Chains A and B, each alone.
Chain A
Amino acid sequence: MTLQVENLSKGFGDKDVLKNVSFEVAAHEFVCILGHSGCGKSTLLNLAAGYIQPDSGTIAVDGVPVVRPSKSRGVVFQDHSLFPWLSVIDNISFGPEVQGRTKREARTMALEYLRLVGLEEFADHYPGPLSGGMKQRVGIARALAGQPDILLMDEPFGALDILTRDTMRRELLRIWLQLRPMVLFVTHSINEAIHLADRIIVMKSGNVASIFEVNMERPRHLQDPAFVNLLTGLEGLLTSLE
């Protein structure tokens, strides 16, 4: 399975948000899209999800163009977007249920994913009073329970405090190593990108500025000279003027 992005352009009004973007993502690959806010990275993700349509160019999965949202592309939102009227377990079983599984099957699956994110004791809670990190865990479990081939994550840890953020990053890595889905992860945190990604696609004002392969062993450490090198390089690239 591959995700192909070819000559993708998208504008809103007279502002071009994406200009002729092309890249490919391979199966089981973890790709981070890194850039400032307003560089078009979220637009790219919305296009990949099928929420919006490109002005020109295509996004395709195994050659089939993305024209509408589909259960094969699960999405994790920055604001988690859990259904507030459903309990945690019902939120997670939503996907399996609407895909036609029986209530019981869906619940069994949901429990499995809930255990994966370590929240089984909160199964019957409503999402409202949960902490930001816990909500996002539920968000990830819900997306995974939909059995997607590709996981699209739009700054999922952007609203979390720095300590929770680090924990969540490790959790996500653990889950990814276990299930190995293809992940497209949008972030503006250079650290986060280096910790997580197989490949980092750096975006600048609607263009792919550069693509970095990250070959370090996981878990990666901030003190690692390779980490520091990459960090410096990315920082230089992102802060340099046009």
Chain B
Amino acid sequence: MSTPSTNSVSTPITPTANQTRRKTAYEPSRIHRILPWILFFVLWEVITRLNGYLEFTNPNYFPGPISISKSAWALYQTGLIWESVVASTLRMLAGFSLGLVGAVLLGVLMNRYVLVETWVGPIITLTGAIPCLALLPLFIIWMGIGETPKIVMIAWATFLPILVYTLDGLRSVNANLIRSAMSLGASSKQIFLRVVLPSTIPNILVGANLSLGLAFSALVVSEMMGAKTGIGFIIVDARNFFKINNMFVAIILISLEFSLFAWLMKLLERKVISWREGGLRSSIER
């Protein structure tokens, strides 16, 4: 599930007489945009109701949107939902920023100093192949069940893709841009800050986008093991007490939370690389 971005819904263009076509990309009307959502939930409700009569499967295990909303409201009143969303968001922000900064810093060092690359490169290759979820039990034994192992794990999941893309970006900076800067009198520090880094930012963002999904699974899984708040915790808690409805509430929360992060990422991207254009959208006007 993802937020409906603009232009994601399209209908075939029917040519009509006198239609002035001046850069008016097809804008779905508001109702058109939420219709698929409404349809999805209505269909879901209908199927669960049917299931209530016909019992394809145990109706207790397959609640409909209305019943889930009631449970969500009950859960909301205990304060757990708000608390969990805040806790998960903070963990994610902390872990993701840590991983991002760490990866970019190490990337810069590896690119700059051959010694660092020689010694750190093989270690990264060795450990990079381990799925971070496999390391969680170990992290918990080492660091306890507090916030530390969760944040470390999210950071770990974030780290590797960003490092790879950062290195790639640093290595492929256009040599003529560096030459231009040199001939304009830039010092090596200025060249790094004003030419190399900005050239690499698009690559870093590609890595960050890739990391987002991984970091998010790390978040949920780490909350499923030894947490008292968080979206992952709601799932485990619901399982322990056999509250199927709450599980669905948590699943919906996960998708909402992920949409939030994906949106934040888009926002960041648009802000940082507004100068970039390309792709299908800008190649032809519809």
> Contacts A81-B177, A83-B198; is A74 near B184 (CB within 8 Å)?
yes
The docked-state distance in angstroms from the alpha carbon of A73 to that of B177 is: 15
CB distance from A99 to the nearest CB of B (A): 5
Contact B177 A69 (CB under 8 A): no
Interface: A70 (CB within 8 A): yes
Interface: A94 (CB within 8 A): yes
Contact A81 B185 (CB under 8 A): no
Interface: A51 (CB within 8 A): yes
The docked-state distance in angstroms from the alpha carbon of A27 to that of B145 is: 74
Q: Which 6 A-B pairs have the closest CB atoms?
A: A71-B185, A95-B184, A69-B182, A81-B176, A98-B186, A146-B184
Which residues of A are found within 8 Å of B277, using beta-carbon distances?
A: 128-129
Interface bits A82-94 vs B (CB < 8 Å: 1, else 0): 1111100000001
Contact A81 B179 (CB under 8 A): yes
Contact B275 A126 (CB under 8 A): yes
Contact A79 B275 (CB under 8 A): no
25 interchain pairs, CB-CB under 8 A: A49-B179, A49-B183, A51-B179, A51-B182, A69-B179, A70-B185, A71-B184, A71-B185, A75-B179, A75-B180, A79-B176, A81-B177, A81-B179, A81-B180, A83-B180, A83-B194, A85-B199, A85-B273, A94-B181, A94-B186, A95-B185, A99-B184, A99-B185, A142-B180, A146-B183
Contact B190 A98 (CB under 8 A): yes
Interface: B78 (CB within 8 A): no
The docked-state distance in angstroms from the alpha carbon of A148 to that of B184 is: 8
Interface: A227 (CB within 8 A): no
Interface: A77 (CB within 8 A): yes
Interface size class of B (residues with CB under 8 A): 20 to 34
Cβ contact of A73, chosen from B181, B183, B198, cutoff 8 A: B183
Main secondary structure of the interface of A (DSSP, over half): loop
Main secondary structure of the interface of B (DSSP, over half): helix
CB distance from A55 to the nearest CB of B (A): 20
Which residues of B are found within 8 Å of A69, using beta-carbon distances?
A: 179, 182-183
Interface bits B148-186 vs A (CB < 8 Å: 1, else 0): 000000000000000000000000001011011111111
The docked-state distance in angstroms from the alpha carbon of A83 to that of B273 is: 13
User: Which residue of A is nearest B195, CB measured?
Assistant: A83
The docked-state distance in angstroms from the alpha carbon of A82 to that of B199 is: 12
CB distance from B200 to the nearest CB of A (A): 11
Interface: B187 (CB within 8 A): yes
Interface bits B199-224 vs A (CB < 8 Å: 1, else 0): 10100000000000000000000000
Contact B183 A74 (CB under 8 A): yes
The docked-state distance in angstroms from the alpha carbon of A71 to that of B276 is: 29
CB distance from A188 to the nearest CB of B (A): 19
Which residues of B are found within 8 Å of A49, using beta-carbon distances?
A: 179, 183
Which residues of A are found within 8 Å of B174, using beta-carbon distances?
A: 81
User: Which residue of A is nearest B272, CB measured?
Assistant: A85
Contact A77 B194 (CB under 8 A): no
Contact A98 B187 (CB under 8 A): yes
Contact B275 A94 (CB under 8 A): no
Which residues of B are found within 8 Å of A74, using beta-carbon distances?
A: 183-184
The docked-state distance in angstroms from the alpha carbon of A86 to that of B194 is: 10
The docked-state distance in angstroms from the alpha carbon of A85 to that of B273 is: 7
Of listed A68, A84, A152, residue having the most chain B CB within 10 A: A84
> Contacts A85-B198, A85-B273, A126-B275; is A98 near B180 (CB within 8 Å)?
no
The docked-state distance in angstroms from the alpha carbon of A69 to that of B273 is: 29
CB distance from A46 to the nearest CB of B (A): 9
CB distance from B78 to the nearest CB of A (A): 49
CB distance from A28 to the nearest CB of B (A): 20
Contact B177 A83 (CB under 8 A): yes
User: Which residue of B is nearest A94, CB measured?
Assistant: B184
The docked-state distance in angstroms from the alpha carbon of A129 to that of B278 is: 10
186-202 of chain A: CB within 8 A of chain B: none
The docked-state distance in angstroms from the alpha carbon of A99 to that of B198 is: 19
The docked-state distance in angstroms from the alpha carbon of A75 to that of B185 is: 11
CB distance from B186 to the nearest CB of A (A): 4
User: Which residue of A is nearest B274, CB measured?
Assistant: A126
Interface bits A62-76 vs B (CB < 8 Å: 1, else 0): 000000111101110
